[in-house]
Amino acid sequence: MTHFRQIFDPRTVAFTYLLGEDGGAAVAVDPGTDRTRLSVLAMLAELNLRLDYVLQTHWHDDGANDAAALRERTSARVVASEAARAGADIPVRHGDTINFGSEVIHVIATPGHTPGSVSYLWRDRVFTGDTLLIGGCGGTDRMGEDPAALYDSITHRLFALPGETLVFPGHDRRGRTVSTIAEERERNPAIAGRSRDEFITRRTAS
């Protein structure tokens, strides 16, 4: 039996995800606040799971401390892109895989929101961080953010996934919890039907 939990922090409108095998290994995706880290620890105890990995879709500034705080409470190792500014126990690149128990997670490099942004594909769902949101996408107004790379990451890598793939983002401000690749491909106002040049121009202007 596998477990999947989506944890929402209303203060930061951020999602954290916990995946695990019954009585065995587990991974947490983006446990970025004290509230969500405590929720992860409680769920690990409730479900009798061992946290093997903390997966970061991206980091800003001192974000490495977010993952380190959970690593200190468990035996988990921190996984992040090799292009991330902060260090990780396990640096990954596009095409790598992460195994926990009998489960496999595929790493998809999706730079743009940050140079080290990655998405994680597990079974029929993809955890997109701030690269692809429900009805939107991550910002490109900080140092290191690149609208051209973001457009390519979304259209060439995420939108290339099967349409029924479930999209679980890093944030949502409207109470939405999940979408699909097909829905975002067809209806996402930030990118659907926009050319690369139009997307770049709009992102640069904003």
Distance CA 170, CA 120 (A): 12
Residue 128's region, left for phi above 0, alpha for psi from -120 to 50, else beta, is alpha
- Put simply, whether the predicted model's pTM sits higher than 0.85 gets the answer yes
Label residue 142 by pLDDT band (50, 70, 90): low
Number of domains in the chain: 1
Label residue 144 by pLDDT band (50, 70, 90): low
CATH assignment at residue 49? 3.60.15.10
Q: Which domain does 41 fall in, by range?
A: 2-205
pLDDT reported for residue 5: 97
Kindly give the pairing relationship between strand 125-129 and strand 132-133: unpaired
pLDDT single digits (tens) 17-54: 999 998 899 999 999 888 888 999 999 999 999 999 99
Judging by beta carbons within 10 Å of its beta carbon (0-12, 13-18, 19+), is residue 194 exposed, middle or buried? middle
pLDDT reported for residue 65: 56
